Structure formats: structure tokens, C-alpha cells
Chain A
Amino acid sequence: MLNADRKTSKIAISAALTALALIFSYIEFLVPLPMPVPGMKLGLANAVVIVALYTLGTASALTINLLRIFLSGLLFGNVFAILYSLAGGLLSFLVMCLLKRTGLFSITGVSMAGGVAHNTGQLLAAALVVSDLRLFYYMPVLLFTGMVTGIVIGFTAYLICRRIPR
């Protein structure tokens, strides 16, 4: 493939993945699963971000992630929703990039750490919004649920990545 073709196809795939991530965000907004912590989500959109991270690279994955956060925040949420997802999404992305770069972790492990980082980021943002550190009462349960959802999403992303031709 020519270089220009490759670039074009990457842009097209990124756009399609952004749309897919947005649809996942919408599904979770429409049908919230019963979770032990109120407001908690599986993070289906994160599966898209991880697949992008492993197939398209860091820059594309970050772009998809940011677009997804802003678009879903504007469409289904409000300013605070954007703030919380941004705090969770960026911290999670940073952690996943760093762990991926070490080369020691599988997709599932990277995603598990990402899930935990996501919940930690959101908790930090929430603690800032209410200016109250007592929110860290939720820390244990958020750590645990972040791990479980991260593993589920990571395994899904692993199955997808295996089937994608590169």
C-alpha cells in the first residue's frame, strides 16, 4: 500500500472506531447495567480505545478517546459528565500507554490497570467537585469493580485484536 493510502485508511478506520465508541457510550447511557456501585459502567467504549491502541497506535487511540468523551458528554450528559469522564479517561489512557510500552503486560493486564485508573481518576474528580476527601470511602469497591470490568473489557479487546488483519 502507498503511504498516502495507508494514512487515508487510518483516518477512515479512526472515524469508524470513534462512531463505534460513541454508540457503546450511548448503549450504556440507555441501558445501565445493575452494578454494585451506583453510576458504575462496564466501559464498553474502552474496548474500542484499547483495540485502537493496539492496532492504530497511541495518537489515534488518544484522538478517538477524546472525541468519544466530548461527543458523548455533549450529547448525553453535561459539563460535569465530561469532567468526570475526562479525568477517568485520560488517567486510564496514560496508565495503559505506559504499561503497554513496558511490554511486560498482556492486553488483559493493560486493560485491568486501565479500569482501575479510570475509576481512580473519576473518584479524584468527584472528590474535587464536592471538595471532600471522605469520598475515598468508595475507594475499595471502585478498585475492585475497576479490576473486574477492566479484565472483562481487556479480554474482549484481546479476542477482537486477534481477529483483525493487520
Chain B
Amino acid sequence: MIKKADIILGIFLILLCLSSLFFLRLSGTGGDLVVISADGKEYGTYDLSKDQRITVRARGDDAYNIVEIRDGAVFMAEANCSNQVCVHQGAIRRSNQTIVCLPNRVVVSIRGSQTDSMDDVSY
């Protein structure tokens, strides 16, 4: 009931999974900027080292998300979305990590500043 092609496909998918994991997550360095976008447009960029609460208005003010930056990590403190998935996800702190609130179309992610990609390699 399990054929050879199944196993080959399975191995291929696991390799694809591991390599995408490596490129998307483990390659992430410290990161120091928080980039928020709403409705597909960039909403604002914030300093990860500065504790603050940002209220994001999306979908023409119908939706709101409160993003909180504290101790070098970002989390969704509050949202009026239907499923609260973004709130339950918890905090992110490394570059490339992302919190998405799909109902409100809000994306929060961490970026390194422009310089660090080069400097990281050369020190």
C-alpha cells in the first residue's frame, strides 16, 4: 500500500521543508526594526529597542490591532478580529519572524536595519 514513489515524494517534501525552514527562519539574525503593514500597504516602521504600543487601524478604521513592543520583542496585545489567532501567537524577536492577522489584513514582522546584513558577515 506504500509505494516507492510515495517515499521518494515524502523525502523530497521533507528536504523542501527543512531547506525552506533554514532559509526563512534560522537565517534570521537579531533584527532591530518592526515593520507593520495593513491592507497591503506599509503602515509604519518602529524601533524594536524602544518599548511602545502601536494602534493599527486597518480596513478603513473598521479593524484595530494593538501591537506592543517590549524588551526587544513584539506581540499582538489586542485585536478585534474574529479568531484571535494573532494574539495567541505570542511574541517574536528575530528578523524574518512574522505575526499575521488575516481577518484584519495586518502583518507585523521584524527586519534587520539596512546595514546589518553586511556587517554581520564581516565581523
Interface residues on A, range: 20 to 34
**B-contacting residues, A99-127, CB 8 Å:** 102, 104-109, 112-113, 116, 126
Checking B9, B16, B88, B102 against A112 with a beta-carbon cut-off of 8 angstroms, the contacting residue is B9
CB–CB B24/A137 < 8 A: yes
Q: Is B54 an interface residue (CB 8 A)?
A: no
CB–CB A137/B97 < 8 A: yes
Shortest Cβ distance from A69 into chain B, in angstroms?
18
Which 9 residue pairs spanning A and B have beta carbons closest together?
A131-B40, A109-B6, A38-B85, A140-B21, A104-B5, A137-B98, A143-B17, A130-B105, A140-B20
Interchain CA distance A127-B21 in the complex, whole Å: 18
CB–CB B17/A140 < 8 A: yes
On chain A, the residues within 8 Å of B97 by CB distance are 137
Interchain CA distance A50-B8 in the complex, whole Å: 21
Interface residues of A (CB under 8 A from B): 38-39, 80, 102, 104-109, 112-113, 116, 126, 129-132, 134-140, 143-144, 147, 158
On chain B, the residues within 8 Å of A129 by CB distance are 102, 105
Interface residues on B, range: 20 to 34
Q: Is B69 an interface residue (CB 8 A)?
A: no
Interchain CA distance A100-B3 in the complex, whole Å: 12
Q: Given A105-B6, A140-B24, list of 12 further CB < 8 A pairs?
A: A105-B5, A116-B13, A126-B100, A129-B102, A130-B39, A130-B107, A131-B40, A136-B24, A137-B109, A139-B20, A140-B20, A158-B1
CB–CB A139/B24 < 8 A: yes
